[in-house]
């Protein structure tokens, strides 16, 4: 909302040095890197095979063999969390991808064309924003059936107007600038200017917003999975693990502890990274969003 | 002076009623899983309706007792003609509906005719299919003539769908049920609870409870929490899952593991390749490890079954060894069927925990013999549409909770797509047999046929995990029908 | 100004119309026949047909859409298939839970966040600021349903201080009121925590921005006490972004409690929609979603008008 007036393109020097000096950025980067590494490792190795159920060994406490214990089907919780990270990351990345892929061109176009195209885009945005996001996601998964793919679509749809707004606001503030005016004077078309001059200059804005949406996407995926509308077994997901843990809280609270912590740590890491990026890339963008 | 006396009197009254409440409670909060769509048992199949109103608000000519036996209700006694075609019901006198109107033979005729009428929305019209005419002999006598003898007729008249309603209140029973039972309907707070209270002019033995609230708690975790925190006094059927050991250890609660009529099965689409091949179905049966499924899907509670029949029924025979757990044999059978490399199929799972969790285990067990299952969770609405109506499925897990429903295997066009003339013949014979011994033998033959045909994967009998405050007594241990009969419930302290 | 408000109003109405089209036609493609769901597994075809006719399901889609639209314009949202009572009555019943819950959560989050935000801004850069903002970062990252599970475990199952779920109405008198508040306390706290974390961050940065302005420096230079400057001049001017976020959070809380209602089993609006979706009670889903959309449109409209009042330049550019 407040981006338009304060936005300025990033000077490219000093960025790295500033990044390394920024605490939020560093901590966020380390946490995010660890979570990503955990997800990558799970493709090659997990402590146990989670597709083989061992019901007789269910709900064991913490031990050397199972550092986080076993779940209600006798699966190793550490292995579940490792593979669940894949699911969370994949859903959030693709949802952000959908939002960027559709939202950025729309927003940039609206800014370039102005007039009715701009007005129309903003009105469609209003309609999407007017829907209660979570309820709508529940409806979408009810129509198309629960599953990771439909969770991605449901989360992705609400990312489109977010990126459209950010891209439009960023682009609008650039159009009156000298270097853009010069390009226009040189006879370049709106599309070419957008690609050559506008997009590179709003990339940092989009990166910051992307990180924030990524974190929100992970929370949204956990919520949908918790309601049983996200990834389906045998694919583990953190939200679903919490759902399964809920009835067993009184007997085995550790079932709920670790998946919840996994979510908190991942989202925290991404938010710190986003905050840090914003400080590094443009100290003048206001901090609250 | 006079005012002071009144005040003292009022205070005394207040004190006594207060101490009475401490001495013996007369209220009850009962947790049930599902909220009913409405409260008219004669216009909907939802078990949630019967779970509130059956025997409490509404009564039929007969009723089903705690162990599945037929008992007299609004009909005090009856005679059956030699040919088994004419039933003469002698009705109780002095019975009134909750709105004050009197109950008589006209109400019986009205109710039965309404249920079997062309435009009836009764969900169990089959219960009345044998009825040819209903005649009012006098206000206290009704004669029902059947088209053919029906061994289960008196049992059928005890279903919730066959309760007696009054012509004046029938159209509004959905929202404001009016029956003849010991409790009258008070209030329905949508999404939350239904409250009923004692009907003072009840014809029979008055109930001890003054009010009873049925609170809807569909979520397993929330129900365990509500029980532990004392919000709810009793769960006739608690989805306790793995929290059960903790509850059992708690002296505040009584835990009763009883039997329901719920046969939990891995239903197989017998009409679809490769499941039309008996060897494939036998392979599936051999691949299933019931003990593991019961442990994971029902926290170890539940009786393994080998056919579609309740172990609580006296005609039950144990057929779990027909195809014992044997993965090697399952693989061999698949090879014989030309599927040595296995195959893949879908497994559609409705919402209850027994299905969703059982499904994960079934998928894991079948994977070990080479059958890859893709799990597709569905809501009840989709399940009814896709699986039950359109038969668009390979495998599904569901619990069949209707009592004595082995006859569904004889239905044409039922979702199992199973057809065996020999089985149909047994069912036809059963329909016209009323001798108990002969019926028992026929039921046993029927159980064997479907077990040997491996029509479905027969898993376990759904347990009824009744949990209630240890000071309560009179709740049902078993669930021969879907009902929460509160007529004998009372607090002991 | 009047022209601006009228234009925004027109846009709001168009948004509602567009939303109604989307809601109605998207829900029409939902698989599952409401009539069959109402009658259950063993219903006969005749009974099914009779009910379909009674429910008007055999009429053309466009006609049903127009009926529904004009009905809503008159304030008639139709009757629920499954509950056979008017949708508006159902909504009103559920609002008796959702509205107090949203208000309680909002009050809690405001009561925590605004003092923390101001305090952090006043001690900008010091350890207490870092600590407060660090905690806020963690608060934002906690999924509210997980927090709710932990609260239930501690306060309901463990300490048995508060009910773990369910809501049996507001009852009569003070005691009844207290019972209701007690039932909503844990849900409100679990909703409030992440909201408070966001709000504290917004408050802090709005305050920081305001505190950097010239008039604050002037006020301090004039010798006004620090506390007075902070509260009188600072907060008042930082209020606009804070109120905006509050408005958005309220809209979110009304509709966004669906998961928390599931955790605590509360008969609120979100649960009504969730159940209605699974029972294919489409008219209820459509009605509630439209009401929520209307609420959000209205809140956005008010926020826009507030902005325009504060900053006249926005009247033309937006």
Q: Distance between the two ends of chain C, CA-based, in angstroms?
A: 13
Give the tens place of pLDDT for each residue, C21-78.
988 888 776 666 767 666 655 566 766 777 777 767 777 888 888 888 898 888 888 8
> Are A145 and B360 a contacting pair at CB < 8 A?
no
Flag the least confident range among A80-89, A116-125, B92-101, B200-209: A116-125
The verdict on a CB contact (< 8 Å) between A127 and C252 is no
Fold entry, domain B3-40+175-259+464-491: D-Maltodextrin-Binding Protein; domain 2 (3.40.190)
Q: Are A246 and A256 a contacting pair, CB within 8 Å?
A: yes
Distances (CA, A) of A211 to A21, A89, A270, A272: 19, 12, 6, 9
**B344 in contact with A at a CB cutoff of 8 Å?**
no
Residues of A in contact with B376 (CB under 8 A): 145, 232
**CATH architecture for the domain at B58-172:** Alpha-Beta Complex (3.90)
CB contact under 8 A, C15 and A226: no
End-to-end CA gap in chain A: 9
pLDDT-derived band at C315, boundaries 50, 70, 90:
low
Q: Which of B42, B114, B194, B381 to mutate to test the interface with C (most CBs of C within 10 A)?
A: B381
Paired strand residues for B304: B460
Residue of A nearest to B350 (CA): A228
Task: Identify the closest residue of chain B to A246 by CA–CA distance.
Answer: B221
> To which residue do tokens 């499954």 refer?
C82
Distance CA B301, CA B294 (A): 6
A233 touches chain B (CB under 8 A): yes
Q: Is A60 in CB contact (< 8 Å) with chain B? A: no
In the numeric block, the tokens 């959702």 are attached to C98
How far B299 CA sits from the closest chain A CA (Å)? Answer: 9
A-B Cβ pairs (cutoff 8 Å, strict): 69
Interface test with A, best of C136, C146, C155 (most A CBs within 10 A): C146
Q: How far apart are CA A128 and CA C59, in angstroms?
A: 29
Q: Is the dihedral of CA B451, B452, B457, B460 positive or negative?
A: positive
Q: What is the pTM assigned to this prediction?
A: 0.80
Burial of residue B353, with CB atoms counted within 10 A of its CB: 0-12 exposed, 13-18 middle, 19 or more buried: middle
Q: How many CB atoms lie within 10 A of CB B197?
A: 18
Residue spans per domain, chain C? 2-73, 92-315
Output the pLDDT for position B325: 95
- ipTM of this complex prediction, to 2 decimal places: 0.86
Angle at C227 between CA C221 and CA C232, to 5 degrees: 85
Contact between residue B101 and residue B158 where contact means Cβ atoms under 8 Å apart:
no
Note whether A233 contacts B376, CB cutoff 8 Å.
no
Q: What is the pLDDT of residue A5?
A: 42
- pLDDT, mean of residues A20-35: 91
- Option in C153, C263, C270 nearest A135 (CB): C270
For residue B263, CA distances in Å to B313, B462, C64 come to 12, 6, 42
Render pLDDT for B32-63 as a digit per residue (tens, 0 to 9).
Answer: 987 887 899 998 777 789 999 999 999 999 99
Residue in this structure with the two tokens 């076993």, named with its chain if needed: A70
Q: Does A72 touch chain B (CB under 8 A)?
A: yes
List chains touching B (3+ CB pairs under 8 A). A, C
Does B367 contact A56 at a Cβ distance shorter than 8 Å? no
Task: Pick A72's closest partner by Cβ from B242, B292, B375.
Answer: B242
**What is the pLDDT at residue C31?**
64
Q: Report the C-alpha gap between B72 and B60 in whole angstroms.
A: 9
Residue A8 has pLDDT above 70, yes or no: no
Q: Which two tokens stand for residue B101?
A: 């109107």
Rounded distance between C-alpha atoms, residue A126 and residue C294, angstroms: 12
- Whole-number Cα distances in Å, A164 to A100, A104, C42: 8, 5, 50
Could you give the CA distance from residue A115 to residue A138 in angstroms, rounded to a whole number? Answer: 35
How far is Cα C265 from Cα C165, in angstroms, rounded to an integer?
A: 5
Residue B93 has pLDDT above 80, yes or no: yes
Can you give the residue ranges of every domain in chain B?
Answer: 3-40+175-259+464-491, 58-172, 261-463
A42 three-state secondary structure? helix
| A39-53 confidence digits (pLDDT tens) | 999 999 989 888 878
The pLDDT score that the predictor gives to residue B23 is 52
Q: Is the CB of C263 less than 8 angstroms away from the CB of A227?
A: no
**For B348-359, what is each residue's pLDDT tens digit?**
998 888 899 899
Write phi, then psi, for A125 (nearest 5 degrees).
-55, -45
- CB contact under 8 Å between B246 and A249, yes or no, is no
For testing contact with chain B, the best of A226, A250, A252, A253 (most B CBs within 10 A): A250
**pLDDT of B81 strictly over 60:** yes
Residue range C187-212: mean pLDDT, rounded: 89
Give alpha helix (H) positions in chain C. Answer: 2-28, 34-39, 45-55, 61-73, 87-122, 127-141, 144-151, 173-211, 214-221, 226-228, 236-256, 258-264, 269-278, 282-310, 314-317
Interchain contact, B119 vs C166, CB within 8 Å: no
Is residue C267 less than 8 Å (CB to CB) from chain B? yes
SS (H, E, C) chain B: CHHHHHHHHHHHHHHHHHHHHHHCCCEEEEEECCCCCCCCHHHCCCHHHHHHHECCCECCCEEECCCCCEEECCEEEEEECCCCCEEEEEECCCCECCCCCECCHHHHHHHHHHHHCCCCCCCCHHHHCCEEEEEEEECCEEEEEECCCCCCHHHHCCCHHHCCCCCCCHHHCCCCCCCCCCEEEEEEECCCEEEEEECCCCCCCCCCCCEEEEEECCCHHHHHHHHHCCCCCEECCCCCHHHHHHHHHCCCEEEEEEEEEEEEEEEECCCCCCCCCHHHHHHHHHHCCHHHHHHHHHCCCCEECCCCCCCCCCCCCCCCCCCCCCHHHHHHHHHHCCCCCCEEEEEEECCCHHHHHHHHHHHHHHHCCCEEEEEEECCHHHHHHHHHHCCCCCEEEEEECCCCCHHHHHCCCCCCCCCCHHHHHHHHHHHCCCCHHHHHHHHHHHHHHHHHCCCCEEEEEEEEEEEEECCEECCCCCECCCCCCCCCCEECC
**A227 and C259 in contact by Cβ < 8 A?**
yes
Strands B371-377, B343-349: pairing is parallel
Interface test with B, best of A52, A138, A147, A251 (most B CBs within 10 A): A251
Rounded average pLDDT over B359-363: 94
Overall average pLDDT of the B108-127 stretch: 88
CB contact under 8 A, C297 and A130: yes
Lowest model confidence (mean pLDDT) among A35-44, B142-151, B407-416, C207-216 = C207-216
Report chain B's mean pLDDT, rounded to a whole number: 88
Put simply, the answer to whether A253 touches C153 (Cβ < 8 Å) is yes
Tokens of B14: 């207040």
Peptide bond before residue C295 is cis, with ω within 30 degrees of 0: no
Preferred mutation among C102, C114, C129, C149 to probe A, highest tally of A CBs within 10 A:
C149
A60-98 residue pLDDT tens: 888 888 899 998 888 999 999 999 999 999 999 999 999
C161 backbone dihedrals φ, ψ, rounded to 5°: -90, -35
Tell me how close the Cα of A143 comes to any Cα of chain B, in angstroms: 10
- Residue B297 touches chain A, beta carbons under 8 Å: no
Query: Mind telling me how many Å the CA of C283 is from chain B's nearest CA?
Result: 15
At residue A17, the pLDDT reads 79
Of B123, B174, B402, nearest to C43 by CB-CB distance is B123
B325 near A CB under 8 A: no
Residue C273 has pLDDT above 50, yes or no: yes
* More confident position, A147 or A6: A147
Report chain A's mean pLDDT, rounded to a whole number.
Answer: 86
CATH topology (fold) of C92-315:
MetI-like fold (1.10.3720)
State how far the alpha carbon of C230 is from the alpha carbons of A278, C136, C206, in Å.
Answer: 27, 21, 12
Chain Cα centroid distance, residue A180: 31
- Of A247-251, B36-40, B427-431, C62-66, the range with the lowest mean pLDDT is A247-251
pLDDT score recorded for residue C213: 76
Q: Domain B261-463: state its class.
A: alpha beta
DSSP designation for B103: P
Whether a cis peptide bond, with omega within 30° of 0, leads into B274 is yes
For chain B, what percentages of helix, strand and coil (3-state, to nearest 5) are there?
35, 25, 45
Spell out which residues of chain B touch residue C85, defining contact as CB-CB under 8 Å: 175, 190
Among C93, C152, C166, the strongest candidate for a mutation testing the B interface, having the largest count of B CBs within 10 A, is: C166
Q: Cβ–Cβ of A123/C11 closer than 8 Å?
A: yes
Q: pLDDT of B121-158, one tens digit each? A: 887 888 898 999 999 999 999 999 999 888 889 999 99
Please list every residue in chain A whose beta carbon sits closer than 8 Å to the beta carbon of residue B360. Answer: 53, 73, 233-234
For C220-262, the DSSP string reads HHTT--HHHIIIIIIIHHHHHHHHHHHHHHHHHHHHHTHHHHH
**pLDDT at residue number B17:** 39
Predicted confidence (pLDDT) at residue C318 exceeds the cutoff of 60: no
What is residue B460's predicted lDDT score, i.e. its pLDDT? 94
Enter the tokens of residue B154: 């008196």
Q: Tell me the DSSP string of A132-162.
A: -HHHHHHHHHHHH-SSHHHHHHHHHHHHHHH
Restricting to A residues 175-214, those with a Cβ less than 8 Å away from any Cβ of B are none
The answer to whether B392 faces chain A, any CB pair under 8 Å, is no
Quick: pLDDT tens for A194-243: 988 899 889 888 998 999 899 999 999 999 999 888 888 888 999 999 99
């Amino acid at each position: 909302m407040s981006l338009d007036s304060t936005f300025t393109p990033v000077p490219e020097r000093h960025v790295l040095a500033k990044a390394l000096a920024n605490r939020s950025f560093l901590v966020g980067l380390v946490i995010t890197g660890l979570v990503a590494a955990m997800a990558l490792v799970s493709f090659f190795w997990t402590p146990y095979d989670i597709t083989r159920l061992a019901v007789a060994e269910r709900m064991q406490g913490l031990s050397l063999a199972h550092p986080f214990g076993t779940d209600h089907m006798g699966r190793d919780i550490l292995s579940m969390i490792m593979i669940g990270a894949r699911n969370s990351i994949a859903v959030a990345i693709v949802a952000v991808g959908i939002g960027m892929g559709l939202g950025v061109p729309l927003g940039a176009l609206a800014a370039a064309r102005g007039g009715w195209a701009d007005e129309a885009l903003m009105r469609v945005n209003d309609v999407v924003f007017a829907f209660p996001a979570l309820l709508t996601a529940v409806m979408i998964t009810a129509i198309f059936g629960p599953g990771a793919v439909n969770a991605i679509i449901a989360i992705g749809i609400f990312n489109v107007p977010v990126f459209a707004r950010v891209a439009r606001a960023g682009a609008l503030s650039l159009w009156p600038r000298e270097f853009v005016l010069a390009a226009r004077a040189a006879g370049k078309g709106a599309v070419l200017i957008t690609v050559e001059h506008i997009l590179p200059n709003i990339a940092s804005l989009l990166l910051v917003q992307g990180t924030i949406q990524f974190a929100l996407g992970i929370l949204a995926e956990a919520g949908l999975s918790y309601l049983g509308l996200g990834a389906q077994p045998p694919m583990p997901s953190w939200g679903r693990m919490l759902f399964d843990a809920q009835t067993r809280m009184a007997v085995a609270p550790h079932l709920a502890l670790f998946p919840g912590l996994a979510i908190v740590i991942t989202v925290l890491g991404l938010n710190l990274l986003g905050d840090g990026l914003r400080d590094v890339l443009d100290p003048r963008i206001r901090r609250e969003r | 002076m006079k005012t002071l006396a009144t005040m003292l009197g009022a205070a005394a009254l207040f004190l006594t009623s207060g101490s009475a409440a401490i001495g013996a409670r007369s209220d009850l909060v009962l947790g049930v899983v599902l909220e009913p769509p409405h409260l008219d048992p004669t216009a909907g199949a939802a078990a949630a309706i019967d779970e509130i109103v059956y025997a409490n608000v509404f009564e039929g000519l007969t009723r089903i007792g705690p162990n599945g036996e037929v008992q007299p209700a609004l009909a005090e006694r009856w005679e059956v003609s030699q040919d088994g075609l004419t039933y003469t019901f002698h009705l109780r006198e002095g019975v009134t509906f909750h709105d004050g109107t009197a109950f008589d033979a006209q109400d019986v005729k009205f109710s039965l005719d309404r249920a079997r009428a062309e435009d009836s929305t009764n969900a169990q019209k089959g219960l009345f299919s044998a009825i040819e005419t209903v005649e009012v002999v006098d206000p206290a006598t009704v004669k029902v003539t059947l088209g053919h003898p029906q061994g289960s007729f008196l049992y059928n008249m005890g279903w919730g769908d066959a309760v007696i309603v009054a012509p004046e209140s029938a159209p509004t029973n959905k929202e404001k049920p009016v029956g003849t039972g010991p409790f009258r309907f008070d209030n329905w707070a949508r999404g939350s609870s239904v409250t009923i209270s004692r009907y003072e002019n009840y014809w029979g033995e008055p109930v001890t409870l003054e009010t009873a609230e049925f609170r809807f708690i569909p979520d397993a975790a929330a129900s365990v929490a509500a029980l532990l925190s004392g919000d709810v006094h009793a769960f006739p059927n608690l989805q306790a899952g793995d929290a059960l050991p903790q509850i059992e250890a708690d002296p505040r609660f009584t835990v009763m593991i009883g039997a329901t009529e719920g046969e939990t099965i891995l239903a197989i689409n017998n009409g679809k390749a490769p499941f039309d091949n008996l060897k494939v179905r036998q392979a599936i049966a051999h691949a299933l490890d019931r003990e593991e499924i019961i442990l994971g899907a029902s926290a170890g509670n539940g009786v393994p079954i080998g056919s579609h029949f309740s172990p609580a029924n006296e005609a039950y025979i144990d057929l779990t060894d027909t195809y014992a757990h044997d993965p090697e044999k399952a693989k061999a059978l698949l090879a014989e069927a030309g599927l040595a490399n296995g195959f893949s199929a879908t497994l559609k799972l409705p919402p209850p925990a027994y299905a969703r969790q059982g499904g994960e285990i079934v998928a894991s067990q079948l994977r070990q013999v080479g059958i890859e299952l893709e799990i597709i969770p569905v809501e009840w609405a989709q399940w009814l549409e896709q699986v039950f109506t359109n038969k668009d499925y390979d495998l599904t897990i569901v619990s069949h909770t209707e009592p004595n429903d082995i006859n569904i295997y004889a239905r044409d066009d039922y979702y199992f797509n199973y057809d065996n003339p020999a089985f149909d013949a047994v069912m036809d014979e059963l329909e016209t047999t009323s001798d108990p011994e002969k019926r028992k033998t026929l039921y046993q033959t029927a159980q064997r046929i479907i077990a040997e045909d491996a029509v479905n994967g027969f898993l376990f009998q759904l347990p009824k995990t009744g949990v209630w405050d240890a000071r309560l007594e009179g709740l049902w241990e078993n669930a021969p029908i879907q009902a929460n009969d509160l007529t004998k419930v009372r607090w002991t302290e | 100004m009047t022209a601006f408000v009228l234009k925004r109003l027109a846009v709001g109405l168009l948004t509602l119309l567009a939303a109604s089209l989307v809601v109605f036609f998207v829900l029409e493609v939902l698989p599952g026949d409401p009539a069959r769901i109402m009658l259950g597994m063993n219903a006969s075809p005749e009974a099914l047909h009779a009910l379909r006719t009674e429910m008007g399901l055999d009429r053309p889609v466009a006609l049903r859409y127009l009926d529904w639209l004009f009905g809503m314009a008159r304030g008639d949202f139709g009757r629920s298939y499954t509950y056979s009572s008017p949708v508006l009555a159902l909504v009103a019943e559920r609002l008796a839970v959702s509205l107090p819950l949203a208000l309680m959560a909002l009050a809690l989050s405001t009561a925590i966040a605004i003092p923390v935000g101001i305090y952090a801004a006043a001690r900008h850069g010091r350890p207490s600021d870092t600590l407060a903002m660090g905690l806020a970062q963690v608060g934002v990252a906690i999924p509210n349903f997980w927090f709710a599970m932990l609260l239930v475990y501690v306060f309901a199952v463990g300490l048995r201080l508060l009910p773990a779920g369910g809501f049996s109405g507001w009852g009569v008198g003070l005691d009844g009121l207290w019972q209701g508040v007690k039932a909503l306390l844990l849900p409100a706290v679990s909703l409030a925590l992440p909201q408070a974390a966001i709000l504290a961050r917004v408050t802090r940065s709005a305050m920081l921005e305001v505190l950097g302005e010239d008039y604050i420096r002037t006020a301090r230079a004039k010798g006004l006490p620090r506390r007075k400057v902070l509260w009188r001049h600072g907060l008042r001017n930082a209020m606009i972004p804070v109120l905006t976020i509050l408005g958005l959070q309220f809209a979110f809380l009304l509709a966004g409690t669906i998961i928390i209602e599931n955790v605590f089993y509360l008969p609120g609006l979100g649960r009504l929609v969730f159940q209605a979706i699974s029972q294919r009670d489409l008219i209820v889903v459509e009605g509630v979603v439209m009401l929520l959309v209307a609420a959000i449109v209205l809140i956005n409209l008010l926020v826009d008008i507030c902005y325009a009042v504060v900053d006249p330049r926005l009247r033309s550019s937006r």
